[in-house]
Amino acid sequence: MKHVWKLGTIITTLVVLWLALLTSSGLPSTLSAIVPYLPIYAVVALGCYGLAMVGYGLMVFPTCPTEAIQLQQDIAEAKVFLASHGIDVNHSSD
């Protein structure tokens, strides 16, 4: 629950700052033209960050040879168990 309050506080602070920028009159014209679109820029930046993190995670995805061997053993055990109960798992569905 602490993370919810932390996230809520951050979002509330950002919204208050954005509203303060919207209502301020002393901004340069170039900045005042950008301020209304800041939430859209933030969402796009967050999406780009998320895609970058997923891409990075896929690039450095760890290979786990011991887990692969264990998974193959589990599959073989499951086939033996199912075969002992009369279930055929070795035929293809072509």
Domain boundaries, the chain: 2-62
Q: What are phi and psi of 87, to 5 degrees?
A: -105, 125
Residue 44: pLDDT band with limits 50, 70, 90: very high
Q: Cα torsion at 6, 14, 19, 33 (round to 10°)?
A: -170
Q: What is the residue-averaged pLDDT of the chain?
A: 89
Nearest-5° angle of CA 23, CA 34, CA 27? 45
35-52 mean pLDDT: 94
pLDDT at 15 exceeding the cut of 70: yes
Burial 71-88 (b: 16+ CB within 10 A, else e): eeeeeeeeeeeeeeeeee
Residue 13: pLDDT band with limits 50, 70, 90: very high
